[in-house]
Amino acid sequence: MNAPMTQFAKPWVANPDGYRVPYEVFTDQAYYDQEQEHIFRGETWSFVGLDAELPNKGDFKSTAIGDTPVIVTRDQTGQLHVFKNLCMHRGALLVRESRGNVKSFDCVYHQWSFDLTGALRGVPMRRGVRGEGGMPPAFDMANFGLDALRVEVMNGLIFASFSKTVEPLADYLGEGIVANIQRIFNRPIRIMGDYRQYIHGNWKLYAENTRDPYHGSLLHLFHSTFGLYRATQKGFTYMDPSNRHSLLKATASAAPTSASEDQEVYKDVRSYNTEFRLQDASILAGRPEFEDRASLVINAIFPNLLIQQIANCLAVRQSVTHAPNAFEIVWTLFGYADDDEEMQMIRMKQSNLVGPAGLISMEDGEAIEIVQDAVIRDGKKTSVLAMGGVHSGSVDHMITEGTIIGFWENYARYLSLGRELKK
Q: What is residue 282's DSSP assignment?
A: G
pLDDT level of residue 270 (50, 70, 90 thresholds)? low
Beta bridge mates, 68: 65
pLDDT level of residue 89 (50, 70, 90 thresholds)? very high
Domain 46-152 has CATH 2.102.10.10: yes
Q: Which helix (H) or strand (E) holds 259?
A: helix 259-265
The predicted-structure confidence for 206-262, as pLDDT tens digits, reads as follows: 999 999 987 766 666 765 666 666 666 678 899 999 999 999 998 864 444 555 555
Task: Please give the average per-residue pLDDT across 332-336, as a whole number.
Answer: 98
**Please, are residues 331 and 199 in contact by the beta-carbon 8 Å criterion?**
no
Domain boundaries, the chain: 46-152, 174-414
Amino acid at 152: E
Closest alpha carbon to 146 in 160, 166, 135: 160
Q: For 177-206, give the DSSP string.
A: HHHHHHHHSSS-EEEEEEEEEEESS-HHHH
- Across the beta sheet with 382-385, the strand order is 14-15, 18-22, 382-385
pLDDT level of residue 283 (50, 70, 90 thresholds)? confident
Q: Which helix (H) or strand (E) holds 209?
A: helix 203-209
**Please, are residues 313 and 346 in contact by the beta-carbon 8 Å criterion?**
no
How many whole angstroms separate alpha carbon 326 and alpha carbon 37? 18
Closest alpha carbon to 240 in 307, 179, 173: 173
How many whole angstroms separate alpha carbon 409 and alpha carbon 32? 17
Lowest-pLDDT range of 3-7, 31-35, 136-140, 171-175? 3-7
Task: Give pairs for 251-258: CB < 8 Å, separation 24+.
Answer: 251/292, 251/293, 251/294, 251/295, 252/227, 252/228, 252/295, 252/296, 253/288, 253/293, 253/295, 254/293, 257/227, 257/230, 257/232, 257/233, 258/232
How many whole angstroms separate alpha carbon 65 and alpha carbon 399? 32
How many whole angstroms separate alpha carbon 313 and alpha carbon 334? 8
Question: Is pLDDT at 8 greater than 80 in this prediction?
Answer: no
Question: Is pLDDT at 73 greater than 90 in this prediction?
Answer: yes
Higher pLDDT, 13 or 240: 240
Cα–Cα–Cα angle for 345, 332, 358, rounded to 5 degrees:
65
How many whole angstroms separate alpha carbon 43 and alpha carbon 3? 46
Lowest-pLDDT range of 98-112, 119-133, 272-286? 272-286
Percent of the chain with pLDDT strictly greater than 90: 69
Higher pLDDT, 198 or 276: 198
Contacts of 99 (CB under 8 A, 6+ apart): 53, 59, 60, 61, 62
The predicted-structure confidence for 152-167, as pLDDT tens digits, reads as follows: 999 999 999 999 999 9
Percent of the chain with pLDDT strictly greater than 70: 85
Q: What is residue 78's DSSP assignment?
A: S
CATH topology of domain 174-414: Naphthalene 1,2-dioxygenase Alpha Subunit; Chain A, domain 1 (3.90.380)
How many whole angstroms separate alpha carbon 306 and alpha carbon 347? 18
**Please, are residues 48 and 55 in contact by the beta-carbon 8 Å criterion?**
no
